[in-house]
Amino acid sequence: MQYVNLDNLRFLLHEMLDVSQLRKIDRFAETDREMIDMTVEAAGQLGDNYLFPHYRSMDKDKAYYEDGRVYVLPCVGEGMRAMGENGYLNATWDLEEGGMQMPLTVVNAGQFALFAANGNIASYATLTAGAANLIRTFGTQELKERYLPKMMSGEWQGTMALTEPQAGSSLSDITTYYEENDDGSYNIKGQKIYISGGDHDSVDNVVHLLLARKKDGPKGTKGVGLFVVPKFLPENGTLVDNHVTTAGIYGKMGQKGYVAAHLMYGEQGETKGYLIGEEFRGLKHMFQMMNEARIGTGLMAAGTASAAYYASLQYAKERPQGRHPDNKDVNAPQVLIIEHADVKRMLLFQKAVVEGSISLLLQCSLYTDLSEHHSDEAVRERNHLILELLTPIAKSYPSEYGNEAVSIGMQVLGGAGYTDDFPLEQHFRDIRVNSIYEGTTTIHGMDLLGRKMLMHNGKAVQLLTEEIQTAIEAAMKYDATRGMATSLAKSLGGVQQVMQHLIGLAQSENPRVFLADATIFLDYFALHVLGWQWLKQAVAAARGLAGEGELSEVFYQSKLRTAEYFYNYELPKVSGHKRILLATERVTLRTTAEELI
């Protein structure tokens, strides 16, 4: 069964994004076309062999907690170690560190394929890679030598331990605290909840990247430090209990093979932690992993939506039902449901979400590569600002629209989609959490409107607008894309009008008025961003049909048809959002708690 289209990844990397431009950067000089294609192909093989075969079984034989231990299927550890052995966990690292100096753009294309194969196993591994990268960036040489080899081999799990019962996403209110010991270590005391990968028996150790506050230290985020807190302390070749206690795991709607644990530190003995970076800059350091995880969450959501799309597409191509409305002959054979216009509409929606999402995510990955490794400081700054602006959308659009895409996929199957004879119901349960992971959609809407749109006096918006204008100019050259370009250009004028209105509110009204509809603004702006991505894909497809590509004619025609769908069915939704954002009625603000009965 297909769950991802590797040709689409090659199309995005080579024909839309032109990742060959990265070879001009010394770090990526050896990353040629053959290496890139081999990396994508290897991800497909890893998915086929170690991840996809276990997707359904991890749901039916879910993780469980018993007598203080957490049990998962052996395939979790096997998959993690396979990804480690194949270099996927540290592929972006320096050659001297055991990495391959691979562009993040290429690695994330492969990660998308792995998430599509089995987002549960892939999440254990990518979470570990993120935690290891944080140690690599801010940790001492001793910490790197002690923890990174085992984490990068997939033998040890890594986590980010942030959330607490009383704090949730408000990290300034955490109460887990630390005290310094004479030997340079720190005693950690407190609880963490919803910790993904927090404990399981398929690895030998779990290494927590944990935020804690200095005991009797400053309030708010100023007193917060970042620590390595392992479940077991590696000492003289052995593993010693560090008294990280698992109180239990959460019963979840989906992702039943991907553990979310309630952890206690220092309850049954001393729990030692080791400071990473500067003492009171823990939250700043953690943002590196959080931003990586936001792109990762988008990849996970897009991957799950991809698997759901191909499952529903296969069903639609095999299931006969009904006849066309103009055929009243009951003796005529039924047609496959993929011949019905409304089924094609549903499939086009799924395809538009999946391929639009991964296009945006790889675009952001390219901005990351350029912002971190280009030799020109001005180029690095430009790409960094655009990346900052797009990150809330790259996390939220695949998550929110991925939910809807999988739901639509279930609708394609009809009653069969609601049964566990097909994977759609599992995809539906598994994907739902992505709009909650790494900050709810509301948080990202407030971040986008309240901070990212305004940062550096709107410079990031200006730079992104320049990128979009470049795509519009390129699209005006082709008959197939000229109408799309005109539609996007016209709609962008509305964005400027909305922003002027909202900035006026910010200057004259209570901030609650300005941010009341931030989530709607996020969707409004995201649809324009996805319009830009689909325009870029459509232009690349038009070039392909003109003989400048390497894929089949039907591939490029399918790409253009999906772009047409987006512009005719999805982009028009912005008009309703615009009316709401410009309205003077403030229903949500005027509604009192007592009126919600």
Per the document, the length of the chain is: 597
With 90 as the cut, is the pLDDT of residue 351 above it?
yes
User: What gap in Å lies between CA 479 and CA 485, rounded to an integer?
Assistant: 10
**Cα separation of 86 and 78, whole Å?**
12
Over the stretch 404-455, which tens digit does the pLDDT of each residue have? 999 999 999 999 999 999 999 999 999 999 999 988 999 999 999 999 999 9
Rg (CA), the chain: 24
Q: Does 509 have pLDDT greater than 90? A: no
Task: State the helix-helix crossing angle for 377-413 and 282-318, rounded to 10 degrees.
Answer: 40
pLDDT at position 439: 87
Q: Give 316-333 pLDDT, tens digit per residue.
A: 999 999 888 888 888 889
Q: Which two tokens stand for residue 134?
A: 């944080």
| pLDDT tens digit sequence for 122-163 | 999 999 999 999 999 999 999 999 999 999 999 999 999 998
Domain with CATH 1.20.140.10 in the chain: 285-582
What CATH number should be reported for the domain whose range is 285-582? 1.20.140.10
* Stretch(es) of the chain classified as CATH 1.10.540.10: 6-151
The CATH number of the domain covering residues in 158-280: 2.40.110.20
- 2 by DSSP, 3-state: which? coil
Q: Please state which of the ranges 153-167, 175-189, 284-298 shows the lowest mean pLDDT.
A: 284-298
Q: How far is CA 476 from CA 455, 482, 485, in A?
A: 31, 5, 6
For residues 526 and 396, give the distance between their C-alpha atoms in angstroms, rounded to a whole number.
9
pLDDT band at 169 (very low <50, low <70, confident <90, very high): low
Q: Tell me whether residue 570 is one of the annotated catalytic residues.
A: no
pLDDT at 17 over 90: yes
Q: How far apart are CA 196 and CA 254, in angstroms?
A: 13
Please give the structure tokens belonging to residue 121: 């196993």
Q: Work out the pLDDT band at 168, boundaries 50, 70, 90.
A: low
Of 13, 86, 74, 14, nearest to 43 by C-alpha is 86
CA 310 to chain centre: 20
Question: Where in the chain is CATH 2.40.110.20?
Answer: 158-280
The whole-chain average pLDDT of the chain stands at 95
- In CATH terms, the fold of domain 6-151 is Butyryl-Coa Dehydrogenase, subunit A; domain 1 (1.10.540)
Residue 84 confidence class, pLDDT cut points 50, 70, 90: very high
Q: From the candidates 164, 292, 438, 570, which is the catalytic residue? A: 438
